Amino acid sequence: MEADESEMDWAARKTAKELREAREAAEAMEKSKRDARLKDEGGIKLFKELRAWMEGQAKSYSSQIPTKAFEVGGIEPFGGPDAHHFFKVSSTNRERLPMTISYRAAPLYEITVDCGPGPKRRYVLSIGDNGNVFFETPKRQSKTIEELGSELLDLWKGAPI
């Protein structure tokens, strides 16, 4: 009789473990699908918000200090093996090199920033526990659109001419 109980205890334990693992795998798969959908929908939307925020800053700054005016170009697609969308920030008097901000969707989901000599900056698209989409630094610091935009404009303004 004891052999049957120990066998059932093992079977019950084994069954519970396998059911739990199957449930966790299904939940992970569902979360992965949800995150991919959120990134597909939210990434380009955030990129457009970043561009719009920067354009607003350019208009405000340029109206106050016309000699230091800058402009933000429209979002353009770039095809080929490295397909992405990008826009440029440039000074209206061409006193400094333009800054190019690119967004690559799947599989990278990242923004790459190039403003002349030096390394490019990268910001990866992430999903919070609450389902919010945001960009974060390589050190995993989340950035709002305003924080990211300010950081990029400061980087561009501080870059060698």
Give me the DSSP letters along 37-98: HHHHHHHHHHHHHHHHHHHHHHHHHHHH-GGG-EEEPPPEEE-STT-EEEEEEEETT--SPP
The number of domains in the chain is 1
**Residues of the chain under the 70 pLDDT cut:** 1-8, 161
Q: For residue 36, is it within any domain? A: no
Give the pLDDT confidence score for residue 157 in this predicted structure. 87
- The answer to whether 6 touches 14, Cβ cutoff 8 Å, is no
Q: For residue 53, is it within any domain? A: yes
Give the pLDDT confidence score for residue 71 in this predicted structure. 94
Q: For residue 144, is it within any domain? A: yes
Nearest residue to 155 (alpha-carbon basis) of 137, 140, 142: 137
Q: For residue 46, is it within any domain? A: yes
Q: For residue 146, is it within any domain? A: yes
Q: For residue 15, is it within any domain? A: no
- The answer to whether 12 touches 4, Cβ cutoff 8 Å, is no
Range of the domain at 50: 41-158
Q: For residue 60, is it within any domain? A: yes
Give the pLDDT confidence score for residue 7 in this predicted structure. 61
Q: Coil, strand or helix: which one is 144?
A: coil
At 58-73, the pLDDT tens digits run: 999 989 988 888 999 9
Give the pLDDT confidence score for residue 161 in this predicted structure. 66
Q: How far apart are CA 145 and CA 143, in angstroms?
A: 6
Adjacent-strand bridge partners of 72: 89
- The answer to whether 73 touches 58, Cβ cutoff 8 Å, is no
Provide the 8-state DSSP code for 118.
S
Give the pLDDT confidence score for residue 130 in this predicted structure. 86
Q: How far apart are CA 44 and CA 30, in angstroms?
A: 22
Q: For residue 135, is it within any domain? A: yes
